Chains A and B, each alone.
Chain A
């Protein structure tokens, strides 16, 4: 099962197993990793699952679709080049080892 690492704003890292087909957001919420709120449960309707993907991994992800791009513009935390909405990142075997950083706050 792919392992995803979430690094909090304070530097604390959490590495958890996330089943293929789940989203990076679900991996955090289901493993009680702090930093991702996911108010809408993954419907791409709230922008509170914002993460900064590690630069080494960013290119390996499928690009943002229009809905995600629109919703991202209004995330609370500052946007960076590698910003993604983690509910839109589907875990695949190729993403084993993915590292993302969570912002200080999602609101």
Chain B
């Protein structure tokens, strides 16, 4: 058993990583006090459904919460909600909360997540302009997505496209503005981008790529978006242009930060008593390069590693990352991280709405993108983990069963 009862671990952030860390700490037999402090007024909840079923109105709020209320008392975790942490005093080992009270810690876990990148300050003051990160954002956006509403989505990434899909299916008139040359430029290959551009267009969405939003027009409320020399009327605007890691607390406290709170594979920061996990971190990838991942999988698995470390049983976080996105009736599943120079292998035909793209590096699968092709995704994940060599021509040949590669 580890951890004297008199010790206290404070978890800063009441999200996916935070709640996983609490559960894992107790599973490891940690006996000290655990306090979780979150800035939102909600207990930990899952974010993926926010831009999908929850926005569509198909998912009750109750179902978003990651654990039942009884979990916190049962695991002896004190929950402090609606209370931002303002500062960390590493010498005195205490944190200062927004109400100016302080809490001492023996060890700390930073699971502060990330926040939407703003296109500019003015965007947050114009009525009808929305970002999407939390429950409150979606509750404010949903009533605007009515039949005939002119929705302009700025950003053709997961958030923007998932919202576009929900809105289009609710009868809104949707325009998506993507600044780069294709949809989801950071996360999928050109074949998959093109496929999704066509799918959205087929649902009546106006797809504009190479279209950076130049300005938002409106007095008190939004009237139009300007892009590519065009004035696009808008009743509602949804902006999804990425997130920024919430690393300010760590930076101000003198912890090493570089596109996120820098941690090693054991989720340790530059302070031996402080760990970090989830969207807020910058950490080693499988090949040693550093990455910042924005995903449920990373939050959960990295939190497990952090908890193990906090419980005195250091565990290296070394998992193949995976992601998914639901748009219309299509499930996009991705594993691994593609890099320029990878050999891409298409398996199946996009026209059938069921296909995959494998990324090979040194003759091995480094990443896979699968559209309604769960078997390809799972086998791809296994191959990334095993490092087994594959022949590109066989992978491309749908007459060769995907299971034979496993």
Binding site for B on A (CB under 8 A): 21-22, 26, 29-32, 39-41, 43-47, 67, 70-71, 73-74
Query: Cβ of B229 < 8 Å from any Cβ of A?
Result: no
**CB closest residue in chain B, given A30:** B68
Query: Cβ of B63 < 8 Å from any Cβ of A?
Result: yes
Known: A26-B63, A67-B331. A43 touches B324 (CB 8 A): yes
CB-CB nearest 3 A-B residue pairs = A70-B374, A74-B378, A45-B324
Number of A-B residue pairs, CB cutoff 8 Å, is: 53
CB contact between B74 and one of A29, A32, A39 (< 8 Å): that residue = A32
Determine how close the nearest CB of chain B comes to the CB of A82; give it in whole angstroms: 20
Query: Cβ of B333 < 8 Å from any Cβ of A?
Result: yes
Query: Cβ of B300 < 8 Å from any Cβ of A?
Result: yes
Binding site for A on B (CB under 8 A): 46, 48-49, 60, 63, 65-68, 70-71, 74, 296-297, 300, 322, 324, 326, 331, 333, 372-375, 378-379, 382, 403
Determine how close the nearest CB of chain B comes to the CB of A80; give it in whole angstroms: 19
In the complex, the answer to whether A41 meets B297 with C-beta atoms within 8 Å is no
Bound complex: CA A34 to CA B60 (Å): 23
Determine how close the nearest CB of chain A comes to the CB of B369; give it in whole angstroms: 13
Known: A40-B296, A41-B48, A45-B322. A71 touches B374 (CB 8 A): yes
In the complex, the answer to whether A22 meets B63 with C-beta atoms within 8 Å is yes
Determine how close the nearest CB of chain B comes to the CB of A107; give it in whole angstroms: 11
Residue numbers in A under 8 Å from B60 (CB-CB): 21
Bound complex: CA A47 to CA B46 (Å): 18
Residue numbers in A under 8 Å from B48 (CB-CB): 41, 43
Residue numbers in A under 8 Å from B379 (CB-CB): 74
Known: A22-B63, A32-B67, A32-B68. A41 touches B378 (CB 8 A): no
Residue numbers in B under 8 Å from A32 (CB-CB): 67-68, 70-71, 74
Bound complex: CA A47 to CA B379 (Å): 13
Residue numbers in A under 8 Å from B326 (CB-CB): 43
Determine how close the nearest CB of chain A comes to the CB of B335; give it in whole angstroms: 10
Known contacts A22-B63, A45-B322, A70-B375; 14 further A-B pairs (Cβ under 8 A): A29-B66, A30-B65, A30-B67, A40-B296, A41-B48, A41-B66, A41-B296, A43-B48, A44-B331, A67-B372, A70-B374, A71-B374, A71-B378, A73-B403
**CB closest residue in chain A, given B370:** A70
In the complex, the answer to whether A70 meets B378 with C-beta atoms within 8 Å is yes
In the complex, the answer to whether B378 meets A73 with C-beta atoms within 8 Å is yes
Bound complex: CA A67 to CA B372 (Å): 7
Chosen A-B contacts, 20 in total, with CB atoms closer than 8 Å, are A30-B65, A30-B67, A31-B68, A32-B67, A32-B68, A32-B74, A39-B297, A40-B296, A41-B46, A43-B326, A43-B331, A44-B374, A45-B322, A45-B331, A47-B378, A70-B373, A71-B374, A73-B375, A74-B379, A74-B382
Bound complex: CA A26 to CA B59 (Å): 12
Determine how close the nearest CB of chain B comes to the CB of A51; give it in whole angstroms: 18
Bound complex: CA A41 to CA B323 (Å): 12
**CB closest residue in chain B, given A75:** B378
Determine how close the nearest CB of chain B comes to the CB of A35; give it in whole angstroms: 14
Determine how close the nearest CB of chain B comes to the CB of A42; give it in whole angstroms: 8
Bound complex: CA A65 to CA B189 (Å): 28
Residue numbers in B under 8 Å from A47 (CB-CB): 378
Bound complex: CA A70 to CA B406 (Å): 14
Determine how close the nearest CB of chain A comes to the CB of B9; give it in whole angstroms: 21
Residue numbers in A under 8 Å from B68 (CB-CB): 30-32
CB contact between A45 and one of B46, B333, B382 (< 8 Å): that residue = B333
Residue numbers in A under 8 Å from B373 (CB-CB): 70
Residue numbers in B under 8 Å from A30 (CB-CB): 65, 67-68
Determine how close the nearest CB of chain A comes to the CB of B325; give it in whole angstroms: 10
Bound complex: CA A75 to CA B74 (Å): 30
In the complex, the answer to whether B324 meets A67 with C-beta atoms within 8 Å is no
In the complex, the answer to whether A40 meets B324 with C-beta atoms within 8 Å is yes
Bound complex: CA A32 to CA B70 (Å): 9
Bound complex: CA A61 to CA B67 (Å): 27
Bound complex: CA A29 to CA B71 (Å): 10
Determine how close the nearest CB of chain A comes to the CB of B377; give it in whole angstroms: 8
Residue numbers in B under 8 Å from A21 (CB-CB): 60
Bound complex: CA A73 to CA B64 (Å): 28
Bound complex: CA A28 to CA B324 (Å): 23
Bound complex: CA A40 to CA B154 (Å): 27
